[in-house]
Chains A and B, each alone.
Chain A
Amino acid sequence: MSNTKTTRQQTTAESKFSYKKAYILFSMMAFCTLFYYFGEIVDAAGWQSLHLSFFYSVHDIHRLLFLAPILYTAHNFSPKAVIIISLITAGIFLPRALVFSPYPDPILRAETFAVIAGITGYLVALTLDKNRKIARLERTVTNERDRLLSILENMSDGIMITGPDYIIRYVNPVLIKEFGPGKGSYCYKYLHRADKPCEGCRLPALISGEITQWLNRYPDGKIFETKASPFVDTDGTTCQISAFRIINTPEQISGQKP
């Protein structure tokens, strides 16, 4: 089971992989390498007209160009990819450090740069990775909330979500049909046309974790069975989610009307 899961995860990651970005990265590395060894290439090819002193000076500045592919990797790929590119960069510096460079401590200078650039790129990649994970989690939470809301929209019972401040955050179409639009209103005003919270209101107890049910009788004769429980909204606020169901028949209602 775990092998299947690993394979599926690997397939998903590979299917999202951008080959275009990978080959842009390889092109950047190739260009930086050519730039780094340009003096040696000119000497080998005998192109005297391109013999510029800049390409024969100490290469501390030339190495800085490798920051571009390392940071590009940090932005577009994983922290592991930054380590790979940094190792490759360290390897690219080695021939010049071992063979060509006439300056003192060539290995130390070259590899110190590779290590520092690698650490910088790794930290950038970690930060970006964390931000992407947070964004993905936020999207998941929003999608789950939208899914819940679409279920609530299609229920045959009336559904209402009330915040701890008595303000209605959501009413579904069944309740809108019964009482009208109510989002943003006070629940006591919306349901009972009252100016203050109902006596014996269960909202405070519900917010603290109780699940309860009761009957609501209305002047038009309708009796609603109300079941309510705590509900944590996407902003982390504990609210009340109530389900309203008419328990008396239309005939009973018309008989009971004043």
Chain B
Amino acid sequence: MLIETEWIIRLLFLGLLHWSLAGIMLQDLAKRQKVAGGRKWVWAVLIIFLTFLGSLIYLLFHPQVLSREE
């Protein structure tokens, strides 16, 4: 099955968006001492495999990601 060029571009764009956001959330997850629920690996799986939504859910539970670094 051939995928049209347009859809390849769309998938690439979606991938870029997903991994940019996931990268920021994973970086925060790595630095964090405590996470909601207590299990970091669960959040890592959620962020990586649940496209976009995983990062959004992580942000909802850990809004401190938005804080200024002193």
Chain B interfacial residues counted at CB < 8 A:
23
Chain A interfacial residues counted at CB < 8 A:
31
Most chain A CB atoms below 10 A, which of B32, B52, B66: B66
B69 within 8 A of A: yes
A112 within 8 A of B: no
B5 within 8 A of A: no
In chain A between 1 and 33, which residues have their CB closer than 8 angstroms to a CB of chain B?
6-7, 9-10, 12-14, 16-17, 19, 22-23, 25-26
- Are B60 and A111 in contact (CB-based, < 8 A)? no
On chain B, the residues within 8 Å of A26 by CB distance are 60, 63
**CA distance in complex: A90, B19 (Å):** 13
- Choose the segment among A81-89, A153-161, A229-237 that binds chain B (4+ C-beta atoms closer than 8 Å): A81-89
Q: A91-B17, A91-B52, A98-B10 are in contact. Are A9 and B68 (CB under 8 A)?
A: no
On chain B, the residues within 8 Å of A94 by CB distance are 14, 17
Which A residue's beta carbon lies closest to that of B69? A13
Q: A13-B69, A87-B21, A94-B14 are in contact. Are A23 and B31 (CB under 8 A)?
A: no
Most chain B CB atoms below 10 A, which of A12, A14, A83: A14
- Choose the segment among A72-80, A143-151, A177-185, A190-198 that binds chain B (4+ C-beta atoms closer than 8 Å): A72-80
Q: A7-B33, A83-B24, A84-B21 are in contact. Are A111 and B13 (CB under 8 A)?
A: yes
What are the interface flags for B37-70 relative to A under an 8 Å C-beta threshold, 1 for contact and 0 otherwise?
0000000000000001000100110011111111
**Chain B interface main SS type:** helix
On chain B, the residues within 8 Å of A7 by CB distance are 33
On chain A, the residues within 8 Å of B60 by CB distance are 26
**CA distance in complex: A30, B54 (Å):** 17
**CA distance in complex: A23, B66 (Å):** 11
Q: A10-B32, A13-B70, A14-B67 provided; 7 other pairs, C-beta below 8 A?
A: A10-B31, A16-B67, A16-B70, A22-B63, A78-B69, A81-B67, A94-B14
A residues neighboring B (CB under 8 Å): 6-7, 9-10, 12-14, 16-17, 19, 22-23, 25-26, 73, 77-78, 80-81, 83-85, 87-88, 90-91, 94, 98, 107, 111, 129
Residue contacts A-B, CB under 8 angstroms, 19 given: A7-B33, A9-B69, A10-B31, A13-B70, A17-B63, A23-B63, A26-B60, A77-B66, A78-B66, A78-B69, A80-B24, A80-B69, A87-B20, A87-B24, A88-B21, A88-B59, A91-B17, A107-B13, A129-B68
